[in-house]
Structure formats: C-alpha cells, structure tokens
Amino acid sequence: MQEIYFDNSATTRPCRESIEATVKAMDIFWGNPSSLHRRGTAAAELLLSARNEIITAIIGSKAASALPKRAGFTGSGGTGTLIFTGSGTESDNLALSGTLKALKNKKKRIITTDSEHPAILETLSAAEADGAEIYRLSTVSGVIDLSELKEALTPETSLITVMHVNNETGAVYDIPKIFEIAKKAVPGIICHTDCVQSFLKLPFTPKDLNADMITISGHKIHGPKGVGALWISDSLIRKKLPMAIIYGGGQENGFRSGTENLPGICGFAAAVKAAGTENAHIEFNKKTLLIREKIIKNLPAGVHVNTPAGKYVPNILSLTLPIPKSQPMLNYLSSNGIYISSGSACSSRKNTVSHTLTAFGLSNNEADRTVRVSLDSSNSEEEAVFFCKTLGEGIEKLGGR
C-alpha cells in the first residue's frame, strides 16, 4: 500500500545524516561531556561542534566567527547562548518559568496570544494561578491586531511571548513588528518567540526578530525526538536570565542540569547541516507551495480552506470538511495509508475542540470538522492528487453534506 505522510508539523522522518550522526555519537563518543578524561573531552568537543552548527543556523554565518573554538561552554559577543533541552516544550517552559522565577516579586504581567502552542498556554495558565497577570491577544483570521497590542502593553509588562508560525493554521505572525512595538513601549521587556515551526523554513536571525529568546526543536526538521534548544541573548545572560528550572550538576552553564543527550544533539546538528545553505528555505517553500496549490485545485466539493488573512507558510493547510466530525476521516485516510492530523499532535488526544481554530474564527462545530495537512519538500504533487481523490471517497462514505 502506498503511504503518504502529510503530518510533518507533528514530526518529521529523521534524515539519513541525522540517524548516522546519532548512532555514531552513541557508539563511538559515548563518554560524558563533563568528564575530564580523554573520552569525556572527545564528547565535549563533539558537543561544542554540534552547538556551533545549530547556533550558526540561528544567528547566521557572518556572526558565527565569534563562536568558541574550544570545548567549554560560554556565550560570546553577539552570538548569544544555546541551551540544549529535552524538547521544544521544555525550552518554552525554561524561557517562561525561568524568567518569572528570576523576577520574583517584581512586575509579572505577560502578553501572549490566544492561539499559542499548549507548551506556552499551559505554562502561563500555571503562572496565572500563581498570581501572574496574563493578557492574551486575539488572533482572528490568523492576524494579531497591533492596536490591541499597543493597548495591552503597560509599564507592568515584563514579558511577551508570541509564536512565529502557528502550528495549526500556518499563520505567520509579524514578530519583528510586534517585538519592536513592545520594546519601544516598555524598555527592558523580554521578548520570546517559539520558532519550532519556522526554523529552517523561514529566514530569520534574532536581530531580525528583535527576540531575546528563541525556541527550536530537533524532530520538526528531520532530527531526532527528545532534543530541543533555547537561544538566549547576551543581554539576558548578563542579567542572569532565565533562571534554571531543573537542578542537578549544573550542565549547560547552569541553565539546564542533566547529562546532555549527546546522540540526540548530534542528530539535531546533522539535520541542520543536511538542510543546506542559509537559502535552503527558498527551495522548501517553492516545493511545498506547488503541492499546496495542487491540493487546493483538486479538493472535493464542500471542503473549505482556512487561509489566514495575513502572511502564512505554504506547508500548513487547515481544511474544514463537509462531514460531522474529523476523526472518522483521519481513520479512513490512515487505513488507506494517508496520514494527516486534526490539529496539534501534542493535544489531539484530549478530545477537545482546538482553541487555535476557535480563536481563528471557526465555530466549535467547524473546528470539530477540521483537519491539518502539513507538507515537506519530500512530498510530491502526485501524492497531493491521490490524497484529494481519497479524501473525496471518504467524504462520500462518511456522509458528506
């Protein structure tokens, strides 16, 4: 049976380079990077190499000359610091909880949006229960109203966190402008963005985004699961922000204790390197746009594309189907070797209507009939046509309206 994987926003298939680097690190460089003997030193050097590979992809090759060349972990002028974590979720938690912890009893008003990933929303809900004030900007049609943002910013605002690309609708939020407005209104405000869905798919540097902290994840870019990272600016490091939320041996310069997952980190770095040059996103977006257009052209009657009103990435499509619920369609497509999702994989098993889709403007009923198709450059236009054909057959079988 032909298999078509259209769920790349949930996870991606590890590339060959990532698999080989992961196995090599596990098999040959199995020493502890914190150990001072030869095996430990070899592991530490490999860790440094992987860190530099990933941070270069974030800050750009022109700034990478300032990165450390010898094993040992320090941030240096203009490069910021990269902290390895166990996932994008942990990186978000470190950014938010670690910052709030450092602020102690100081101002704790935080601005976010109503369509963030659960890693952000659940962390802030916990902070809210603990006394923090959370303001959630609306994202109707995938657009943030900048006038609402300006009104929401007060002298008491300490932190703003807004994702770069929405994982369910593909909406691209104007992070550079949002953070520019925030920093102008509240000097010293800390700006964090979750770039899990935009890393290596859209061009950016921390300077471009006006960001102080950036979250990325390995398994979204053909790397392994179980490894993420948080980039932190030099200015925050000097302020000793954020504070650690995991205690132990003080690894990752004290920001995240626990022996580093060197195999996962090496697989992450190999996936970054395999992505190619700083212009690799151009080919990715060109290819996925062609597939997207092929899908839209061949969609069965009655299927509605939830296209954001502003900018959006071509690789994520939100489709509302003319059937009572989306889950039977997911099952039908899966039985035919086609894999899509009903929204964020991190929350799809909770059997609740997507908060992102209702924030977008869909009714509960519409959200319950909506699926997400997320593409990769390895997909093809032929797969798009077969998907649409099978989708149409499924709508007929499942009682399409």
Cα 371 to Cα 8: distance, rounded to the nearest angstrom: 13
346 carries an active-site annotation: yes
- Alpha-carbon gap, residue 122 to 112, rounded angstroms: 12
Token representation of residue 43: 């592991």
Q: Give the separation between CA 224 and CA 222, rounded to whole angstroms.
A: 7
Please give the structure tokens belonging to residue 72: 């040992």
Report whether the peptide linkage leading into residue 206 is cis, meaning its omega lies within 30 degrees of zero: no
Which pair of structure tokens corresponds to residue 57?
């992809």
- Distance from C-alpha of 100 to C-alpha of 116, rounded to nearest angstrom: 18
Q: Are 151 and 169 in contact (CB under 8 A)?
A: no
DSSP state of 253: G
How far apart (Å, rounded) are the C-alpha atoms in residues 279 and 202? Answer: 9
At which residue do the structure tokens 């098993």 appear? 349
DSSP 266-298: HHHHHHHHHT-STTHHHHHHHHHHHHHHHHHHH
Please identify which of the residues 15, 191, 266, 346 carries the catalytic annotation. Answer: 346
**β-strand pairing of 370-374 with 4-5:** unpaired
Alpha-helical regions (H) of 299-376: 327-335, 355-360, 364-367
Q: What positions carry a catalytic annotation? A: 346
